[in-house]
Structure 1
């Protein structure tokens, strides 16, 4: 009974001596957690408002002019804003909650040095093991922040070429020309060629016979391009008049005249095809020949002469012109030197 009384008295004395510290520590932990939660909510709300302001600024620039509207895509803005907002919110939550956790452990008088050392070693091990994932993530973050490309852009990523259909922090999805979908890791992209920013250039090389009138051909190309620029939808696709640059190549059989046009981003291929189509029709109407031209018809006399010269064949049709014109060998005469004695 005495031992139980002593234990109870000791526990009561311990509680009496330390309850104030426990109470102050608990209040300190509650205050730290409350501040962390409130600060996290405020920071996330500020980030959301910042992203919304960026979207409003992009929409205002799109409404300010036709060029801005062409360069700014709604889906591109949405995905880029979501990605940036997600990254910023994750970083803010990690920093705030991580700092709060360390402060709570410090309030509980836990030595943080071994914990931080273990966390550092574990971080290095994870970093080496998942270095490709980290590289992809960091590359994706900088691609999005720098707005190197977005949804709807046609890009050449080196490992694949196509239209961007989704931009992620780790993987970018491209739609190829044949309909295939390429999943390109952001860490593998060493260089990016964006074919949809600003404007594109349509280049058309017209091959003309060497003996044709070059001034006439040049004037016809310019007139055809001018007529094309007046028709829909090419009047909006062509941003500048088509320029006939001159001779690109000269050979003994033909010359090459190069024409160039500044077009809407991503529309250069369609403009070049349509311009070639119209130039071909204009040249046919004007009688200007291309290299090779249409094969000439072989005269009937020449065909008959060729038939008379052609040797007969054992597998030929007996009623063919060659068989009818062939002279049979005399009977009994040797048909070759190897039969002579």
Structure 2
């Protein structure tokens, strides 16, 4: 009787609570699905933009499709996780409040647990947050050559916790994002190729400049250098003047990551042009150091000894002194 009467008195309350909980869950599921779909469309739009830019030189380097794809996927993953946590967490709190459960102790306990977990996993949290900001700010991406201070190389993969680099010798570096304090990106903007040409101090500077200008003009018109070079090759002038040599500086702006390639090609062409023009390239300071380090061939030859001459005073001083008896007998 008591149970039946209790149910009869409270069924409307329980029905209202059930309908409220059901409504909250339905709204949460629908809202989450809508938000996730909007995020997916946003990420797909970013990927389509990356694919359309892939065909150009600028797109192939600075907005690389694979780089943009990983960046958009990482951003999408973060947005989905945050959206799901906020929507489902809010729905759970509303469901608990519908049952008239006091949320203050629960939230306090959750706060203490969160602080403890955050303190224990602070390195993981630091890595994650650093990775999120690196991706959002587009500090580097797949295909970039970077110097992180800890390691340097080409970026193979960018994650929320770890960045994977391939070093100059082919080794793979796994660098935690939280350990990266500075980033030097060698693949953004442009690079500078510089070549120092050391010639004899007696060379005609006008002839040297004319030869270098001819090399620069010819190289700038040939493929693939006409695309790699982003500015004319300039002869900057004398960088230094020594007693027996002088250094002429040649410089140019290049495509990111191509400075070393341009420098090697420039040295090759300058050497051939100088040989044809009978302009001698000297070693400069390096050659002087090598000459100083060359052993003297006469260093191993001993100096002539004074004892080699039998009439020398040194030999006479070492001869035994004759006794008086021997001298008398001789007389």
Q: Which TM bucket (shorter chain)?
A: 0.7 to 0.9
Counterpart of 1:5? none
How does the TM-score come out when normalised to structure 2? 0.84
Counterpart of 2:80? 89
2:37 maps to 1:11: no
Could you say if the C-alpha distance between residues 337 and 169 of structure 1 is closer, same or farther in structure 2, counting changes exceeding 3 Å? farther
Greater than 6 Å deviation, 4+ residue runs: 333-338
2:52 maps to 1:53: no
Gap runs ≥5 in structure 2: 288-296, 321-331
Q: CA–CA distance in 1 between the matches of 2:315 and 2:180?
A: 73
- Please show how residues 173-322 of structure 1 align to structure 2 within 5 Å: 173-292=164-283, 310=301
Could you say if the C-alpha distance between residues 339 and 37 of structure 1 is closer, same or farther in structure 2, counting changes exceeding 3 Å? farther
Cα drift, residue 93 of structure 1? 0.3
Q: CA–CA distance in 2 between the matches of 1:248 and 1:337?
A: 65
Cα drift, residue 230 of structure 1? 2.6
Could you say if the C-alpha distance between residues 337 and 287 of structure 1 is closer, same or farther in structure 2, counting changes exceeding 3 Å? farther
Counterpart of 1:128? 119
CA contact (8 A) 1:253 1:291 kept: no
Cα drift, residue 334 of structure 1? 12
2:256 is paired with a residue whose SS is coil
Cα drift, residue 184 of structure 1? 1.3
Gap runs ≥5 in structure 1: 1-8, 296-305, 313-328
Cα drift, residue 123 of structure 1? 1.1
CA RMSD of aligned residues (A): 2.7
CA contact (8 A) 1:209 1:291 kept: yes
2:19 maps to 1:27: yes
Q: Which moved more, 1:65-74 or 1:50-59?
A: 65-74
Q: CA–CA distance in 2 between the matches of 1:70 and 1:164?
A: 13
Cα drift, residue 292 of structure 1? 4.3
CA contact (8 A) 2:141 2:158 kept: yes
How does the TM-score come out when normalised to structure 1? 0.82
Q: Which moved more, 1:82-91 or 1:126-135?
A: 126-135
Counterpart of 2:324? none
Cα drift, residue 254 of structure 1? 1.7
